[in-house]
């Protein structure tokens, strides 16, 4: 099927090239040719530039508030008033290792980033999470 499509497109391209490259000399009156016969492919130079626009990044206070709101939504957090900038997930908030993985996944979803496993293993507290998110240029 793929071979047939390639052969057909090559045949169409060669017919178009033959029609456009051979000049016709005739003593008879010239009849206007259809536009397909007069098509001359132009060589276009495309300079593709991929640009990113951002709003200037995130601020530390905004990131902290979003993480605080995210953590307060977890049922296993002992006391939402314990969520501070230096709060440790296991020691201060009462989360186990599986809950910490869920927190990291929720942070990925909240900030639209992907955290590799080696970096996720280092995020055990709110300040480490804030620090990591601020270091990511794609976080929003």
Catalytic residue selected from 75, 79, 92, 96: 96
Asked if 75 is an active-site residue, the reply is no
| Burial class (CB within 10 angstroms; exposed 0-12, middle 13-18, buried 19+) of 87 | middle
Tokens of 81: 């008033």
Query: For residues 121, 127, 130 and 136, what is the CA-based torsion angle, rounded to 10 degrees?
Result: -50
Q: To which H or E segment does residue 11 belong? A: helix 2-21
The residues carrying an active-site annotation are 96
């Amino acid at each position: 099927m793929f071979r047939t499509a390639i052969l057909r497109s090559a045949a169409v391209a060669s017919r178009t090239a033959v029609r456009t490259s051979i000049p016709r000399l005739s003593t008879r009156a010239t009849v206007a040719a259809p536009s397909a016969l007069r098509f001359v492919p132009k060589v276009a130079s495309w300079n593709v530039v991929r640009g990113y626009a951002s709003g200037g990044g995130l601020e530390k206070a905004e990131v902290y508030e979003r993480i605080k709101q995210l953590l307060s939504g977890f049922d296993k957090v002992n006391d939402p008033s314990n969520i501070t900038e230096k709060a440790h997930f296991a020691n201060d908030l009462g989360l186990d290792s599986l809950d910490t993985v869920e927190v990291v996944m929720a942070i990925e979803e909240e900030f639209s980033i992907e955290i590799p496993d080696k970096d996720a293993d280092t995020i055990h507290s709110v300040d480490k999470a804030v620090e990591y998110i601020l270091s990511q240029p794609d976080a929003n």
